[in-house]
A = this chain, B = another copy of it.
């Protein structure tokens, strides 16, 4: 394993000069530059990045906290984050928290130990106070998920609006008994959407029933379970607003299985507009979330925090918006 010293020796120059060549310093004669490059090639030299990191205090690596890698929504988020990261010479350390507070806390130590320059959170399990402690060690960017107690840099959409237009759509279709289904009672996104749901219901003078609220559905399987519970109700809702297309797909699937017609017996509205939304039968009406773009922006925001202004990518001006995509499940 060749080091900079080996290169310097072979080229008959000092380590400083070699270093200067590597870092494209302005004042190096063409002659020596050539010498150094030859030596590097001959030795198949590659700089040791931990030494560089130790010296420069920069890792060019960002940690991305993801609750569940197999949830497609987060894959698209990650894909967007990755696109901007790669384009700017940054690497991604992927930290799957599995919705676990302790796991999440352990990953936070990555920034304490200077293993990453910053952290992008796509979900948050611990209380804000816990997270805040880590913020003095490096920048934290919230991506999609957020915390209203905090003023952390973040990229987010108006989720109250998302809950509102979804519910509103169902109301406009004539529904009165509308159920609401979200991923986590802890998530601020879920709370915001529920607020939008309640706003629309209230505006229309409709009753909000406790038994129509499901707050623990995150994936396809959960969706099936939700439908089973609905099927068992004496007085069933005629429509349901869900927090993800995965869940909605599970509902649609199980409904067909149990002979409940969508949308006649039960209108279903999804969230995200993932590819799965058009694979179900009937296809899902859904609220489109531009996951890739959200990820891109979060990474751009991060770069603006860790890079000198002139090197950071510009932040897009236009706000990201949720929009409803009408298909046949409503």
* Interface residue A91 (Cβ < 8 Å from any Cβ of B): yes
Determine, out of A76-84, A144-152, A229-237, the stretch whose residues face the partner at the interface.
Answer: A76-84
Given contacts A50-B53, A79-B69, contact A96 B86 (CB under 8 A): yes
A114 touches B49 (CB 8 A): yes
B82 touches A75 (CB 8 A): no
A154 to B82, CA, bound (A): 26
Q: Which residue of the partner chain, among B59, B70, B113, contacts A75 with CB atoms under 8 Å?
A: B70
Determine how close the nearest CB of chain B comes to the CB of A211; give it in whole angstroms. Answer: 27
On chain B, the residues within 8 Å of A279 by CB distance are 220, 249, 253, 276, 279-280
Q: Least Cβ distance of A94 to chain B in Å? A: 5
Given contacts A82-B94, A96-B82, contact A50 B46 (CB under 8 A): no
User: Closest 5 CB pairs between A and B?
Assistant: A50-B53, A49-B113, A46-B112, A50-B54, A49-B115
**By the criterion CB–CB under 8 Å, are A47 and B103 in contact?**
no
Residues from chain B with Cβ under 8 Å of A49 in the complex: 113-115
User: Which residues of A line the B interface, CB within 8 A?
Assistant: 46-51, 53-54, 59, 61, 68-70, 72, 75-76, 78-79, 82, 86, 91-96, 103, 109-110, 112-115, 220, 249, 253, 256, 275-276, 278-281
B69 touches A113 (CB 8 A): no
Beyond A48-B54, A48-B113, A50-B53, whether A75 also contacts B69 by CB under 8 A is: yes
Quick check: A114 and B48 within 8 Å, CB to CB? yes
Known A70-B76, A70-B79, A93-B94; 14 more pairs at CB < 8 Å: A48-B113, A48-B114, A49-B115, A50-B114, A50-B115, A54-B54, A70-B72, A75-B75, A78-B94, A86-B103, A220-B275, A220-B279, A256-B281, A279-B280
